[in-house]
């Protein structure tokens, strides 16, 4: 399908910002939603809003069916073997925390080591720091080279029998780097460590097959894959999910409760305490179907074209430096401009209707690695157009002129 037709499906893209047509380049923070997703939300609330799983009335049955249909779609979307391996969460952050608080507390002890990378989002740093502090474990970090790629030789040297977990980001939200996770996972498994992949940025761009990848856990967010906010998926290998202790207690996650002893529900419900985010989970299916119908290969081809086009244009701007020049990159460009604070660029671009993200992108250690307070980040999605990149370039020239 032509990009223009796809664009038409995203109503928000027709709006004006400060009197100019919106140019939305903050897709790595959250993507916009196609009409089918918005419709799925209103359709649920208009026609079959009900609490799921235990109701015996028609509405409850319809809602339950729709909710579980998303689980099957999500399973297919990431290539999991069984539906029981798909746990619904609030998002990637909750998925990572779930693993830290359950598998982590059960399996990490004094002197054990957890390896993360220098380009992690704070949500893949802090849960492990909390765990390490509690257990007397040690956090090790794979360094990042000047191009924004992981130093794989150092990674291999960090691996040892003490390594219990490797938790790394698939695609960097600040640099766009695609990490060699196949190699990372193989290395970790050789020393008997488990691997969690933070798929927050990768799920929307790359083909994901957790089974082939052989990762132990994989987490992603609905709102970055054209779906609603407040819903995400945690994949875990079935035998791991079965052996882990529960996360939160409450309704839905139990089999039988007495004051003496409670037995827990089977997978995946064991980890889904309380009434879940039914509406957004149901609408997530519409987003995943939308991606499937569009085709990730088609999306990627378009985004790669945008990336190449934008990179060439950016390189021609005096004083502009791209941060993150990995060989494998998704459609995202982080950059700084000599003598100019990123926040000022963000404010002036916003006045031209252009939405970019500025700041440290929740990766402060990575910014420290590059010795910068933050970057300006333009991230592209399937609905973006070359004309919008032209608008950004014009906007940048104007911004630089105003600030100098």
- Alpha carbon distances (Å) from 183 to 113, 146, 152, 188, 328: 19, 20, 9, 9, 14
According to the binding rule CB under 8 A, does residue 368 interact with another protein? no
Catalytic residue selected from 28, 362, 376, 400? 362
| Residue pair 81/241 in contact by the 8 Å Cβ criterion | no
Q: Which residue has the tokens 């980001």?
A: 169
- Rounded CA-CA distance 296/329 in Å is 15
Rounded-to-5 percentages of helix, strand, coil across the chain: 45, 20, 35
Minimum gap (Å) between residue 359 Cβ and another protein: 4
The residue (of 13 and 356) whose beta carbon lies closer to another protein is 356
**Out of 373, 385, 390, 393, the residue judged to bind another protein by CB under 8 A:** 373
The residue (of 243 and 343) whose beta carbon lies closer to another protein is 343
The residue (of 161 and 404) whose beta carbon lies closer to another protein is 404
- Rounded CA-CA distance 107/131 in Å is 11
Minimum gap (Å) between residue 28 Cβ and another protein: 16
According to the binding rule CB under 8 A, does residue 402 interact with another protein? yes
- Rounded CA-CA distance 257/327 in Å is 54
**Out of 22, 344, 390, 393, the residue judged to bind another protein by CB under 8 A:** 344
DSSP-derived secondary structure for 305-330: HHHHHHHHHHHTSTTEEEE---SSB-
The stretch among 67-75, 95-103, 177-185, 344-352 that binds another protein (CB under 8 A) is 344-352
According to the binding rule CB under 8 A, does residue 351 interact with another protein? yes
- Alpha carbon distances (Å) from 61 to 48, 53, 66, 133: 9, 7, 9, 45
Return the residues of window 1-60 that contact another protein according to CB under 8 A. Answer: 18
Structure tokens at 272: 């889904």
According to the binding rule CB under 8 A, does residue 346 interact with another protein? yes
Through-space distance between the first and last CA atoms of the chain, rounded to whole angstroms: 43
**Out of 168, 348, 356, 392, the residue judged to bind another protein by CB under 8 A:** 348
Cβ-in-10-Å burial (0-12, 13-18, 19+) of 212 comes to: exposed
Minimum gap (Å) between residue 358 Cβ and another protein: 6
Minimum gap (Å) between residue 371 Cβ and another protein: 14
239-249 as b/e: b if 16+ CB within 10 A: ebbeebebbee
Residue 362 designated active-site: yes
The stretch among 22-30, 99-107, 144-152, 396-404 that binds another protein (CB under 8 A) is 396-404
**Out of 55, 79, 359, 365, the residue judged to bind another protein by CB under 8 A:** 359
Positions touching another protein (CB under 8 A) are 18, 341-344, 346-348, 351, 358-360, 373-374, 398, 402-403
The residues assigned a catalytic role are 362
């Amino acid at each position: 399908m032509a990009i223009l037709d796809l664009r038409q499906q995203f109503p928000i893209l027709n709006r004006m910002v400060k009197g100019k047509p919106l140019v939305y380049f903050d897709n790595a923070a959250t993507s916009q939603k196609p009409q089918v997703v918005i419709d799925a939300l209103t359709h649920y609330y208009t026609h079959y809003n009900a609490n799921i799983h235990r109701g015996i009335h028609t509405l409850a049955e319809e809602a339950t069916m729709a909710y579980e249909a998303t689980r099957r779609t999500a399973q297919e979307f990431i290539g999991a073997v069984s539906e029981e391996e798909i746990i619904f969460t609030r998002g990637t952050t909750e998925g990572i925390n779930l693993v830290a608080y359950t598998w982590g507390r059960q399996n990490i002890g004094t002197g054990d080591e957890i390896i993360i990378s220098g380009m992690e989002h704070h949500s893949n740093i802090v849960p492990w720091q909390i765990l390490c502090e509690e257990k007397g474990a040690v956090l090790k970090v794979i360094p990042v080279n000047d191009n924004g790629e992981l130093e794989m030789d150092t990674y291999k040297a960090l691996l040892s029998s003490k390594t219990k977990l490797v938790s790394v980001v698939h695609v960097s939200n600040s640099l766009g780097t695609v990490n060699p996770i196949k190699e990372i996972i193989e290395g970790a498994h050789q020393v008997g460590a488990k691997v969690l992949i933070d798929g927050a940025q990768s799920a929307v761009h790359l083909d994901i097959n957790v089974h082939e990848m052989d990762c132990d856990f994989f987490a992603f967010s609905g709102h970055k894959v054209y779906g609603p906010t407040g819903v995400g998926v945690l994949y875990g290998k079935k035998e791991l999910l079965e052996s882990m202790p529960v996360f939160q207690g409450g309704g839905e996650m139990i089999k039988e409760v007495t004051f003496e002893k409670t037995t827990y529900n089977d997978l995946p419900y064991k980890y889904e305490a309380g009434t879940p985010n039914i509406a957004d989970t149901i609408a997530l299916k519409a987003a995943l179907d939308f991606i499937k119908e569009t085709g990730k290969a088609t999306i990627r081809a378009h985004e790669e074209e945008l990336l190449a086009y934008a990179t060439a244009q950016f390189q021609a701007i005096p004083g502009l430096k791209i941060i993150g020049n990995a060989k494998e990159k998704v459609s995202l460009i982080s950059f700084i401009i000599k003598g100019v604070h990123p926040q000022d660029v963000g404010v002036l671009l916003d006045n031209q209707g252009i939405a970019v993200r500025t700041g440290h992108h929740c990766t402060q250690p990575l910014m420290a690695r590059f010795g910068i307070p933050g970057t300006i980040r333009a991230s592209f999605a399937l609905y973006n157009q070359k004309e919008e990149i032209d608008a950004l370039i014009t906007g940048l020239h104007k911004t630089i002129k105003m600030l100098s």
